[in-house]
């Protein structure tokens, strides 16, 4: 019998978000960061809070849906998703799990 660990794929998000008001923008950025970290948690993340299925990568549309529900967010202007494999070829298997990586959040305000 051979037992191997689960390969992980880190998900980094770079996004520009239009906020509804400049007042409280710092709090919005912090909430977005926390929302991404919670959503991408391998065991308690996802929309239902039950973790990610093995081999399931989040879609870009998942992040738009997630972030546009954050209070104070008007809309997501741009979004890039980078997936970094800890083990080469991990995302081509159905055994990997995703986890939250480094996120870059820029806020804009349109009057």
Helix H or strand E segment including 103: strand 97-109
CA distances from 51 to 23, 46, 101 (A): 33, 6, 16
Q: What pTM was computed for the model?
A: 0.91
Yes or no: say if 70 and 37 are a contact pair by the CB < 8 Å rule: no
pLDDT at site 91? 76
pLDDT at site 90? 76
CA distances from 48 to 43, 44, 52, 95, 98 (A): 11, 8, 10, 20, 15
pLDDT at site 44? 97
Mean pLDDT, contiguous 10-residue spans, the chain (111 residues): 86 97 94 98 96 95 98 97 86 88 95 72
pLDDT at site 15? 98
* Cα–Cα distance measured from residue 63 to residue 79, given in angstroms and rounded to the nearest whole number: 8
- Whether the CA torsion 89, 91, 95, 99 is positive or negative: it is positive
């Amino acid at each position: 019998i051979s037992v191997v660990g689960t390969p992980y794929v880190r998900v980094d998000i770079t996004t520009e978000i239009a906020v509804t008001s400049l007042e409280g923008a710092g709090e919005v950025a912090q909430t977005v960061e926390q929302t991404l970290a919670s959503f991408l948690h391998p065991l308690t993340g996802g929309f239902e809070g039950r973790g990610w299925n093995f081999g399931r990568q989040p879609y870009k549309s998942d992040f738009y849906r997630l972030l546009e529900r954050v209070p104070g967010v008007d809309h997501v202007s741009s979004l890039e998703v980078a997936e970094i494999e800890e083990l080469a070829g991990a995302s081509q298997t159905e055994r990997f799990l995703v986890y939250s990586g480094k996120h870059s959040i820029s806020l804009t305000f349109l009057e």
